[in-house]
Amino acid sequence: MGQIPRFLSWRNMLVLSLAVNFSLILKILKGDKERGDSWPDRTAYSSIWPVISTTASGSSLLSSASCNYTKIEEDDDRIINLRLGDPTVYERYWQEMGEVTTLVIPGWQSLSYFSDHNNLCWFLEPELGKEIVRVHKVVGNAVTQDRFIVVGTGSTQLYQAALYALSPHDDSGPINVVSAAPYYCSYPLITDCLKSCLYRWGGDAKAYKEEGPYIELVTSPNNPDGLLREPVVNSSKGILIHDLAYYWPQYTPITSAADHDVMLFTASKSTGHAGMRIGWALVKDRETARKMTEYIELNTIGVSKDSQLRVAKVLKVVSDSCGNETAKSFFDHSYDAMYERWKLLKQAAKNTKRFTVPDFSAQHCSFFGKVFESQPAFAWFKCEEGIVDCEKFLREEKKILTKSGKHFGDDQSFVRISMLDRDSNFNIFLRRVSASSNSTL
């Protein structure tokens, strides 16, 4: 092998590297100085990622700057996507909590399919079952005594499991599944996606006139309009599924413990942990719970143990926070966030008179011990003054993506808008719709 030239010695290469790096640093510093006032205001982005400081003890404290809803975000003309209920509004609370929800799962854990051989729902982690019972007892929003808990990959899988369990398995044909409009937009899609011979989408419960058995979905508080719901068809042949994903005190007053045959809940909207994909059903009837478990066994052979353990840890922290008198509980924090957002949106609607949002009756909440109005996870937003297609208008004129009312069995003058996005997006949305009083809305 030939000898390496002297000019490529390690000493020469080191000097060359230092010179190049130093010149790059000078160029960057010079560029910042030359940009001057044209450089974007960094404070405009401060609420996109909450400012976290760490105390001497290692706990995290949330900067008050990230909680300021009146702060004007820099509107960089980007598209604001509020079509989905992605619950990132809860990020700042969980960042503030620091390591308290951190969970270490060793590699040897979760090898077996089974969690509890003695449980009807054999893949339910005992720790999750315990924390589900505890959080419902703390909040007082559902009866858990003498109930079977079935865990699923989000409430979507549990909805499918409930349809499988409650449909007649004979030659009578598919049972109709109905819900009062405006209904959750995914119900028709989920119901008909497999073209099942057991069940089919039957449309708006308010228009349902057919004889014979049927399944009615009762979502309360309702998605998309946030109203409290009761069954509509009211026939003795009806089978009910209650979707109570939003029956938590940050969204609506807890007036009583829900006591229904099949009740669906999810970590997505209760604590904001949508990515963990965990939901649970509280079921009265053993055979119904058995069939729901059978469906999940056939569909996914159980539910992720790791996700269950993480949700169990989160629910424990939530319940513990409710008994902590020295700091805000999770529900206190979440209530305040939703209250502030709804206050600002209602004020904008009052000022512009170009759009409306629903009015809600004030009720006494047994959890908070006070009277307040519902403050739902979604705003059922109606464009006024001759705008026929509200979704199209907001998309083209305001660069705001929403979900049209037509997907919910209602009019196109309505859209569903998520109230759960990050502060930065919510503030820009609010500014754009508020400015509509001086524009074409």
Instruction: Give the residue extent of every domain in the chain.
Output: 1-39, 42-97+328-434, 126-322
Pairing of strands 279-283, 262-266: antiparallel
Pairing of strands 175-179, 199-204: parallel
**What SS3 state is found at 238?**
strand
324 class by beta-carbon count within 10 Å (0-12 exposed, 13-18 middle, 19+ buried): exposed
φ, ψ at 311 (rounded to 5°): -65, -40
Q: How far apart are CA 383 and CA 86, in angstroms?
A: 23
Asked if residues 362 and 356 have their Cβ atoms less than 8 Å apart, the reply is: no
Asked if residues 327 and 317 have their Cβ atoms less than 8 Å apart, the reply is: no
CB within 8 Å of 235: residues ≥ 6 apart: 214
Q: How high is the pLDDT of residue 59?
A: 38
Q: How high is the pLDDT of residue 327?
A: 84
**Nearest by Cα to 245 from 273, 228, 221, 226:** 221
Q: How far apart are CA 418 and CA 431, in angstroms?
A: 15
Residue with tokens 């399919």, as numbered in its chain: 113
**Could you read off the pLDDT of 54-69 as tens digits, one per residue?**
333 333 344 333 445 4
CATH of domain 42-97+328-434: 3.90.1150.10
Q: How high is the pLDDT of residue 325?
A: 82
- HEC per residue, 418-431: ECCCCHHHHHHHHH
**What SS3 state is found at 25?**
helix
Q: How high is the pLDDT of residue 61?
A: 40
Instruction: Quickly count: other Cβ atoms within 10 Å of residue 143's Cβ.
Output: 17
**pLDDT by 10-residue block (mean), the chain, 441 residues:** 52 56 49 39 33 35 42 73 96 94 93 96 98 98 98 97 96 95 98 95 96 96 97 92 98 98 98 97 98 98 97 98 89 98 96 91 97 98 94 96 98 98 96 70 50
The distance of Cα 415 from the centroid of its chain, to the nearest Å, equals: 18
CATH of domain 126-322: 3.40.640.10
Q: How high is the pLDDT of residue 108?
A: 94
Q: How high is the pLDDT of residue 31?
A: 46
Tell me the CA end-to-end span of the chain in Å, nearest whole number: 77
Task: Give me the half-sphere count of Cα atoms (radius 13 Å) on the Cβ side of residue 29.
Answer: 6
Q: How high is the pLDDT of residue 55?
A: 36
Strand ranges for 267-413 from DSSP E: 279-283, 355-356, 363-365, 370-372, 378-383, 400-401, 403-404
Pairing of strands 400-401, 80-81: parallel
Q: How far apart are CA 403 and CA 395, in angstroms?
A: 10
Predicted TM-score (pTM) of the model is: 0.83
Q: How high is the pLDDT of residue 324?
A: 86
